[in-house]
């Protein structure tokens, strides 16, 4: 997913979503973003971006041709792009929460299977501590460290 955030208003624009992004796709997204009529970056001066190789010289030239100055952030500097990092975190958490809710409503055996894929060898003696389900498929919660961990 390629997205752009207007920092002044915190407005997010999804420029495109694809399972296999390539440089041509990113350049096409930049053309749409800088469209003079309805581009999200119309009238903007700068575009901050990370050092992903997809943001090629052609991508930067496409932006510069419309008056938007591309600014590459230094390597390993997530705090300089904090709003974007927070947006990504929110999206990941929302998707994970939705997936867990869907697994819980479809039955305990599915969530047990999904968790075993991720935690198969992470427990002591290669045994993962999976949540236990009652006969009515509700997950039983066990508190640890005074409720800090569940």
- The predicted-structure confidence for 26-55, as pLDDT tens digits, reads as follows 999 999 999 999 999 999 999 999 999 999
**How many domains are there within the chain?**
2
pLDDT at position 5 is 94
Q: Are residues 27 and 93 in the same domain?
A: no
Q: Is residue 141 part of a domain?
A: no
Residues 6+ apart with CB under 8 A from 120: 126, 128
Helix (H, G, I), strand (E, B) or coil at 2: strand
Q: Is residue 10 part of a domain?
A: yes
Q: Is residue 50 part of a domain?
A: yes
% of the chain beyond a pLDDT of 70: 75
Other Cβ atoms within 10 Å of 136 Cβ, number: 6
Q: Is residue 61 part of a domain?
A: yes
Task: Give me the residue label for tokens 């998707």.
Answer: 95
- What is the distance between the alpha carbons of residues 149 and 135, in angstroms, rounded to a whole number? 24
Q: Are residues 68 and 90 in the same domain?
A: no
- Angle between the 82-106 and 108-119 helix axes, to the nearest 10 degrees? 130
Q: Are residues 7 and 54 in the same domain?
A: yes
Q: pTM of the full predicted structure?
A: 0.64
pLDDT at position 121 is 47
Measuring CA to CA, which residue among 28, 39, 38 is closest to residue 68? 39
Q: Are residues 62 and 95 in the same domain?
A: no
What is the H or E stretch that residue 150 is in?
Answer: none
- What is the distance between the alpha carbons of residues 105 and 127, in angstroms, rounded to a whole number? 25
- What is the distance between the alpha carbons of residues 98 and 131, in angstroms, rounded to a whole number? 18
Q: Are residues 91 and 66 in the same domain?
A: no
Q: Which of 41, 76, 111 is the last residue of a domain?
A: 76
Sorting pLDDT into bands at 50, 70 and 90, what band is 142? confident
Q: Which domain holds residue 102?
A: 83-119
Q: Which of 76, 103, 131 is the last residue of a domain?
A: 76
Q: Are residues 55 and 17 in the same domain?
A: yes
What's the mean pLDDT in 102-117?
64
Sorting pLDDT into bands at 50, 70 and 90, what band is 147? low
Q: Are residues 45 and 62 in the same domain?
A: yes
pLDDT at position 133 is 53
Q: Are residues 72 and 87 in the same domain?
A: no
- What's the mean per-residue pLDDT of the chain? 81
Q: Are residues 71 and 102 in the same domain?
A: no
104 with 139: CB under 8 angstroms?
Answer: yes
Q: Are residues 91 and 38 in the same domain?
A: no
Q: Is residue 136 part of a domain?
A: no
Q: Are residues 72 and 45 in the same domain?
A: yes
């Amino acid at each position: 997913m390629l997205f752009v955030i207007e920092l002044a208003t915190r407005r997010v624009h999804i420029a495109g979503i694809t399972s296999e992004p390539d440089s041509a796709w990113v350049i096409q997204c930049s053309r749409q973003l800088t469209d003079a009529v309805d581009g999200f970056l119309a009238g903007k001066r700068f575009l901050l971006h990370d050092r992903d190789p997809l943001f090629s010289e052609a991508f930067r030239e496409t932006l510069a041709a419309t008056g938007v100055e591309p600014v590459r952030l230094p390597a390993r500097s997530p705090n300089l792009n904090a709003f974007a990092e927070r947006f990504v975190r929110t999206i990941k958490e929302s998707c994970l929460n939705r997936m867990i809710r869907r697994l819980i409503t479809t039955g305990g055996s599915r969530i047990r299977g999904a968790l075993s894929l991720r935690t198969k060898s992470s427990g002591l003696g290669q045994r993962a501590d999976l949540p236990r389900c009652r006969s009515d498929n509700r997950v039983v919660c066990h508190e640890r460290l005074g409720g800090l961990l569940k």
